[in-house]
Structure 1
Amino acid sequence: MLKMKLISALLLAIALLTYSACKKEKNTLSVDASPPLVKILSPQSGSVLIEPVTIILSVTDESKISEVFIILDGDTLSRLTDMPYELYWNVGYWADGQNHALLAVAKDEAGNIGKSDLVNVIISKDAKIAPNLIEPANNAVLPEDSVVTFRWNGLTDAISYELQVATDTTFSDIMIANTITDTSFIENSLSAGTYFWRVRALNNKNKYSAWSRPFRFFKGNMKDDAPILGVWLWGATLSEQGATAVVAKLTENYVSDVFLLVKGISGSKTPASLITEFIRKAHDNNIKVHLWYVVSSDGVFISAHPQAHIYHCPKPSVGHNEPYPMDDERVNLLYPGYKEYVLNSIRYFVTNFDCDGIHLDYIRYSHFVYSFDEYHLKKADSSGCNTERLLNLFVDNYDYYAYNEGFVNLYFQGDSDVVKWVELRKNVVYDYIKSIKELIAEIKPDLKLSAAFMPEGATNPQWADSYYAQNYALNAELLDFIAPMSYFKDYGKTTSWVKTVTEQALELVNDNCKICAGVQSYGEVTALQVREQITYAQQAGAHGVVFFRYGSTTEDEWQVIKELFSQWPKDE
């Protein structure tokens, strides 16, 4: 019977959508002939629901979506016309212990119709309803001297409401606990800080509803001093999961900043529509978006300029007594026109998107054995460096100078030619960052400029200078914050290494450049190790943490992130 009802409802929804589509001009040929792709991301099929949940949909299409229906057991539960396509669902009204079927149907402006797979859930007989919070909105920032108005939607048969305001997500440190007969409350005694609030109802049978989903809000202007509690996010992951689901996940786990990859190693750019949609939704939830840009690799540029490859030093064992090119996406940073190409790309992102910052990655050399191309050699020659001698070091004894780091040892010893070579590469990196900073200052001076740096630059600066030419102290004057990628497991270290890297990085930078620890959540890292990394970063004095990455983080890790991010002091 339920199956027949679902089929009837689906046919009716399709008929209604088709009818409205046919009202458009019949002679117009539609370019878009593909139906919308519709997925129910939450709840998951097989879930047993006992408290209110948010139904989250992913709806993508070549055309604009005109309307979306959420259908429950054959009846329309909601009609959505605007993003985000989600619905806070008080499941308590269906508390019968039975199976219930969810379906989503979407129509685009071209008249194409798509539907999701069925999602079957069981609603417990003990399921409860809960009030919906209205204001302060989740992650709202209120003036320090403001009066706070708490407001929520009422429930039928409620005779009173219990309001709780706390400084933590577990509501153990409660600041306000009041019973109210209305659906609003005004409070003027809260000082500056971070707060969480929730409400539940008491009905005329002396039964409590479920607690509402807690909302967080801030009192006091923390825009510039707020810690960076962030995550790196691939554009491909955003495309797969959809902006609505990703922002919901970030909001739920108190992420304040997201670093969205908009141009990676391949050189391909994340679609503009996806970036725009994501930024809008993130900003609606007070989440800042930094556009993450890979500098020294670009497959698109290499395809158009095959001579722009980086060059390896001589390696006689493979038949190369002269420098030779690599066959990959890495670009020679001194190749004519590449710096202008990078600046034009940054200009495109800064001009066209309402982002909060630009985040540079791979703003470095990949090893000391590279960059022995004609442009670097010529520039080094002009500075008085004997490049013929440098090349002969590798020709005469490659194993010692390359494999055994004899080249690095010469730098440590102050060898004049090696020092000039390393300084040249350091200045190239510095010049790229400086030029990007000046470009941003011309267009949107309030944007933050940050970068992901190799951790060795903090723990062994000279060694990192010779390898990567990426110097913390030199570039700190240009950057608002640096994220050392202290991925302990990749380096065979313990989680306490995050503290070591953070502390030593802080010793190298000036007061205007903050350090936000880059922590690891991929590679079979446990939830306990995520907890230890974040804790060590905070103990070391980090301005926050950024974890790599969204899409490779387990639910157990997310629970730890949620707990520790919610408790990180916001008034540093």
Structure 2
Amino acid sequence: MMVKVEKTMKRSGKRFLLTALTALLMGLMLYAPVQTASAQTGPFVSEVIVRTVANFKNHNDVVSFVNNAAKRNISVINLAVKQDEDDEVPSGYVFYKSKIAPIAPGYANFDAVKDVIAEAHKKNIQVRAWIPQFHDRAAFDKNSEWQMRALVGGKVVPFTGSNGSEYFVNPLHPDVQAYERSIIREVAANYDIDGVVLDWIRFDDYNMDMGDYTRAQYMSQYGYDPITISFASDHAKRKEWNEWRTTKLGEYVRDVRSDLDGITPGLFFGAYILPPEFVECGQDVAKFMPYMDFIAPMAYFDDWDFPPSWVYDDTGILSQTRQKTGGAEIIATLDTDWTDAQYHNVHQGIRANFPEISNLGFFVYGKWTDNEMKKINNRASW
């Protein structure tokens, strides 16, 4: 169950008495109440997003981290149970005793997921399983037919990111989906998690996936090979292609929800998403609804050269997300390296324009420090 900040409404009124002369003229005394209303602006609920490989090498690391989190009023740890990037260890390797995915080096005898849950629950801190999906070197290496394929210079090639050293698998391949879903089920069935948050449920651009399986499926439905689509400009066929991809990803989320309900009905379930305006990634969060309980938009304004106001203004990421999700809960995801002035701007903008948002998540790429958590706690009431 999600920790909430309860918001109440306070009302204040003043009674303005009519003057004696007016009262005599009217034959009675009247008053006109004037009321103002404002939201109770309590502190935001603070969440942290934690890369296991950078933070938990042993039990002592876990104890120290959780003690600091409790001291700094951190309510939720979103824990990487599966590696997200291709850096310290390959993406797709896991940090628990899996029978499905390869275990990350150094974790065969240290179940970080079990240990973090045990220590966090002692402090009444929730732990969600952060499970990246289709950015997965382990799956990429497992079967060449699973690899994401992109159309580049007229040729179909494996997609390995902009720098050539990231590894993606085809989100539409049934065997890839079965593999990723089996890991989610394994975690949900064997660990006392408080929720699941998915990541990397997307492509990277219009020109993928161009694998044989995907092309055959598309041709059977639309009568033409997607390899013939010109992706450089907006037109009907590109829209048709993207609509098909986003629908298929929505169906995947639906199937994961069904899996989770078969294990722990009602388990809190959501996803980290890119800005909805990045339509080329094939991630239409509207298609994830109504299967998810919350959406966590990555509001890293400086990563994409936006001003801080882009987080909360009427054309920014939270507004875009709200238009897609309706009444679903939004947990805004923020960086930890902004200036105090930028945080004040963003916090106040969220309070003014999205008073229903109670939780803020914070991401550190590397190792969390107590000082980072302290600063988050100090800013929670801004």
In 2, the alpha carbon distance for the partners of 1:478 and 1:469 equals 18
In 2, the alpha carbon distance for the partners of 1:246 and 1:298 equals 27
Shift in CA distance, 497/480, structure 1 to aligned 2, threshold 3 Å: same
- Would you say the 8 A contact 1:262–1:270 is kept in 2? yes
- Would you say the 8 A contact 1:483–1:517 is kept in 2? yes
- Aligned partner of 1:452 in structure 2 is 272
Q: SS at the partner of 1:342?
A: helix
Shift in CA distance, 432/263, structure 1 to aligned 2, threshold 3 Å: same
- Would you say the 8 A contact 1:521–1:552 is kept in 2? no
Q: Deviations over 1:496-528 (max 9, x none)?
A: 2211322332233122x1111111114xx3344
1:473 and 2:286 are equivalent in the alignment: yes
Higher RCO structure, 1 or 2 (CA under 8 Å, sep 6+) = 2
- Aligned partner of 2:51 in structure 1 is 234
Q: SS at the partner of 2:303?
A: coil
Q: SS at the partner of 1:490?
A: helix
In 2, the alpha carbon distance for the partners of 1:331 and 1:527 equals 39
Q: How far 1:368 sits from its partner (Å)?
A: 0.9
Q: Deviations over 1:454-475 (max 9, x none)?
A: 11x1xx3xxx33x122112221
| 2:137 counterpart letter in structure 1 | G
Q: SS at the partner of 1:263?
A: coil
1:307 and 2:307 are equivalent in the alignment: no
- Would you say the 8 A contact 2:48–2:78 is kept in 1? yes
In 1, the alpha carbon distance for the partners of 2:365 and 2:227 equals 43
Which stretch of structure 1 is more off in the superposition, 330-339 or 353-362? 330-339
Q: How far 1:385 sits from its partner (Å)?
A: 4.7
- Aligned partner of 2:213 in structure 1 is 375
Shift in CA distance, 314/496, structure 1 to aligned 2, threshold 3 Å: closer
- Would you say the 8 A contact 2:171–2:202 is kept in 1? no
Unaligned runs of 5+ in 1: 1-139, 142-192, 196-225, 316-320, 395-400
- Aligned partner of 1:510 in structure 2 is 326
1:357 and 2:173 are equivalent in the alignment: no
In 1, the alpha carbon distance for the partners of 2:73 and 2:379 equals 9
- Aligned partner of 1:547 in structure 2 is 362
What percentage of aligned pairs have identical amino acids?
23
Q: How far 1:436 sits from its partner (Å)?
A: 0.8
Shift in CA distance, 439/393, structure 1 to aligned 2, threshold 3 Å: closer
Shift in CA distance, 329/492, structure 1 to aligned 2, threshold 3 Å: same
Q: How far 1:251 sits from its partner (Å)?
A: 1.1
In 2, the alpha carbon distance for the partners of 1:431 and 1:307 equals 21
| 1:391 counterpart letter in structure 2 | I
- Aligned partner of 1:292 in structure 2 is 130
1:251 and 2:70 are equivalent in the alignment: yes
Q: SS at the partner of 1:264?
A: coil
- Would you say the 8 A contact 1:495–1:529 is kept in 2? yes
1:136-285 paired onto structure 2 within 5 Å: 229-240=46-57, 242-265=61-84, 266-272=91-97, 273-285=111-123
- Would you say the 8 A contact 1:234–1:261 is kept in 2? yes
Structure 2 length-normalised TM:
0.75
In 2, the alpha carbon distance for the partners of 1:516 and 1:362 equals 17
Q: Deviations over 1:178-207 (max 9, x none)?
A: xxxxxxxxxxxxxxx999xxxxxxxxxxxx
Q: How far 1:358 sits from its partner (Å)?
A: 0.7
248, 269, 273: which one pairs with 1:428? 248
In 2, the alpha carbon distance for the partners of 1:536 and 1:250 equals 26
| 2:79 counterpart letter in structure 1 | L
- Would you say the 8 A contact 2:249–2:287 is kept in 1? no
Structure 1 length-normalised TM:
0.51
| 1:261 counterpart letter in structure 2 | A
1:524-543 paired onto structure 2 within 5 Å: 525-541=338-354, 542-543=357-358
Q: How far 1:554 sits from its partner (Å)?
A: 6.7
Q: SS at the partner of 1:479?
A: coil
Q: Deviations over 1:353-393 (max 9, x none)?
A: 10001110001111112211112211111222522xx5345
- Would you say the 8 A contact 2:129–2:196 is kept in 1? yes
Shift in CA distance, 257/375, structure 1 to aligned 2, threshold 3 Å: same
- Aligned partner of 1:560 in structure 2 is 375
Shift in CA distance, 444/228, structure 1 to aligned 2, threshold 3 Å: farther
Paired residue total: 314
In 1, the alpha carbon distance for the partners of 2:224 and 2:247 equals 18
Which has more radius of gyration?
Answer: 1
| 1:473 counterpart letter in structure 2 | A
Shift in CA distance, 514/558, structure 1 to aligned 2, threshold 3 Å: same
Q: How far 1:254 sits from its partner (Å)?
A: 1.2
- Would you say the 8 A contact 2:47–2:75 is kept in 1? yes
In 2, the alpha carbon distance for the partners of 1:302 and 1:262 equals 18
- Would you say the 8 A contact 1:383–1:420 is kept in 2? no
Unaligned runs of 5+ in 2: 5-39, 85-90, 98-110, 161-165
Q: Deviations over 1:213-258 (max 9, x none)?
A: xxxxxxxxxxxxx975211101113324711111112112211111
274, 287, 300: which one pairs with 1:487? 300
| 2:96 counterpart letter in structure 1 | P
RMSD: 2.7
